[in-house]
A = this chain, B = another copy of it.
Amino acid sequence: MSLELGELHDECGVFGIWNDPHAAQKAYWGTFSLQHRGQESAGIALLQGSNILVDKGMGLLQDAVQLGREESPFGRAAIGHVRYSTSGESSDLNAQPLLMHTRFGPLALAHNGNLVNHRRLRRRLESEGAIFQGTSDSEVLAHLLARSRKPVLTEALLEASQALEGGFAFVLLTVEGIYGIRDQHGIRPLVLGHTPEGAPVLASETCALDIAGAKWERDVRPGEIVHLSDLGLESLSFSTGTDLRACAFEVIYFSRPDSQLQGESMHLKRRLLGKKLAEESPCQADVVVGVPDSSLPAAMGYAEASGIPFDFGLVKNRYIARTFIAPKEHLRSQGVRLKLSAVKEVVEGRRVALIDDSLVRGTTSRHIIQLLRQVGAREVHMRIASPPYLEPCHYGIDTSRAGELAARNLSLPELTKLVGADSLAFLSPEGLTDALGSKGWCMACFGKGYPVPIPQEEEENART
């Protein structure tokens, strides 16, 4: 499932840099390199003296933001954000960084993830007189912070963080430092690095460190608050029962192939997923074709392990816009062809092993298989490099309603018929665990249990 093909949306990307003379520009670049994590809105916040300047808007960073784009304006610390809305309506009001004025001075906040207890927290805060700007859950942390009786920001933040439940990574810009916060289970990613000159950098992925010229040092730990300031790096723990359960989908699909999670290469992991898939679910095929771009490493791995040759049987249109309206009615079936084309000579008369990284609703898969058949594929054997997607994510990934999860609601034969494949197979959860190489992963969406309990009202919301 390719990013632009869009069944599964990542939620957000965050970035922060402290004490760098090119803070604005590096924040722009770093955030730019996280664009794949969210295309709905983008923003940069820059510390100038004791003021914080915010430039944000709907759409891609390049269209929405000027700050940091060309010349580096004055300012020695900055954070950035890209967003695909998960909770909260899509509008300018929810674009981040959020700028707020509290007793600790101005504060800009960028958030990736979802707080499962945000409804309850919000109700409590509102009853105590809090005023919310928008409808997103990201403001909750700021209110907890502002209301803490602790005299010092760091202490107040520690207290506030303890109330949060879910999967989250926060980056906060204040006058006296940047704070990075990662949830107790490390579900959402957050990495830490330094530039050669010693400026500390936080980001959702290591690719953003690279572009900012920073070297990866370590991932922020589950339940950790890192405080980047002129006094250096301070680390605090806001939770005792931490237990790493990083989102497996970051490996399967979200992260850029040149990023590392826990120091492991996404690209290599994806090749491994393809290999495991070939071992578990071989097929009789003449060519292995991956859905571009995200499934190509898995397709290569599948080809390698199976001995079936890999080729580029599908081509993506590089100029497709996110806002492209699907043509109506009798013309609609041609919609996917605007995004994807089949290379006839690779496919015609052949048995195709079609590799995709995941399958959520199944409609895109159906269109792709149709496309392959139209140019003459003799058979299409679909192989998915992840297990069946059975449960909605509550930690920041937009998997819509439970009712839309094809693998939850259909048997394998029904699913095979739905997508129109000659055969269909998924990677097993065990195969996934093997490939990922440790136990520390959240596999809730594959039916392996939610590491953080889901309040009933959240659950009901996802079911309707």
* Min distance, Cβ A47 to any Cβ of chain B, angstroms: 16
Stretch at the interface among A162-170, A224-232, A340-348: A340-348
Instruction: Say if the beta carbon of A337 comes within 8 Å of chain B.
Output: yes
Q: Tell whether, in the assembled complex, residue A133 and residue B100 are in contact, meaning their CB atoms are under 8 Å apart.
A: yes
Known: A101-B135, A102-B131, A341-B207. A256 touches B315 (CB 8 A): yes
Q: Tell whether, in the assembled complex, residue A3 and residue B258 are in contact, meaning their CB atoms are under 8 Å apart.
A: no
Collect the chain B residues with CB atoms within 8 Å of residue A70's CB: 325, 327-328
Q: Tell whether, in the assembled complex, residue A268 and residue B345 are in contact, meaning their CB atoms are under 8 Å apart.
A: yes
Known: A35-B319, A300-B311. A344 touches B265 (CB 8 A): yes
Q: Tell whether, in the assembled complex, residue A60 and residue B207 are in contact, meaning their CB atoms are under 8 Å apart.
A: no
Name the CB-closest residue of B to A156.
B129
Please provide the chain A residues from 77 to 120 with a CB less than 8 Å away from any CB of chain B in the complex: 93, 99-103
Collect the chain B residues with CB atoms within 8 Å of residue A35's CB: 317-319
CA distance A425 to B104 in the complex (A): 52
CA distance A101 to B103 in the complex (A): 20
Main secondary structure of the interface of A (DSSP, over half): mixed
CA distance A71 to B312 in the complex (A): 33
Collect the chain B residues with CB atoms within 8 Å of residue A221's CB: none
Stretch at the interface among A25-33, A181-189, A233-241, A439-447: A25-33
Q: Tell whether, in the assembled complex, residue A341 and residue B146 are in contact, meaning their CB atoms are under 8 Å apart.
A: no
Please provide the chain A residues from 53 to 82 with a CB less than 8 Å away from any CB of chain B in the complex: 60-63, 69-72
Instruction: Say if the beta carbon of A267 comes within 8 Å of chain B.
Output: yes
Q: Tell whether, in the assembled complex, residue B103 and residue A127 are in contact, meaning their CB atoms are under 8 Å apart.
A: yes
Instruction: Say if the beta carbon of A152 comes within 8 Å of chain B.
Output: no
Q: Tell whether, in the assembled complex, residue A101 and residue B32 are in contact, meaning their CB atoms are under 8 Å apart.
A: no
Collect the chain B residues with CB atoms within 8 Å of residue A258's CB: 315, 341-344
Instruction: Say if the beta carbon of A334 comes within 8 Å of chain B.
Output: yes
Q: Tell whether, in the assembled complex, residue B293 and residue A331 are in contact, meaning their CB atoms are under 8 Å apart.
A: no
Please provide the chain A residues from 253 to 283 with a CB less than 8 Å away from any CB of chain B in the complex: 256-258, 265, 267-268
Please provide the chain A residues from 315 to 364 with a CB less than 8 Å away from any CB of chain B in the complex: 315, 317-319, 321, 323-325, 327-328, 331, 334, 337-338, 341-346
Q: Tell whether, in the assembled complex, residue A103 and residue B129 are in contact, meaning their CB atoms are under 8 Å apart.
A: yes
Name the CB-closest residue of B to A311.
B300
CA distance A70 to B327 in the complex (A): 6
- Which 6 A-B residue pairs are closest in the complex by CB-CB distance? A129-B147, A265-B345, A101-B132, A35-B319, A103-B126, A129-B146
Residue ranges of A at the interface with B (Cβ–Cβ < 8 Å): 3-4, 22, 25, 29, 32-33, 35-36, 39, 60-63, 69-72, 93, 99-103, 126-135, 139, 142-143, 146-148, 207, 210-211, 213, 256-258, 265, 267-268, 293, 296-297, 300, 310-312, 315, 317-319, 321, 323-325, 327-328, 331, 334, 337-338, 341-346
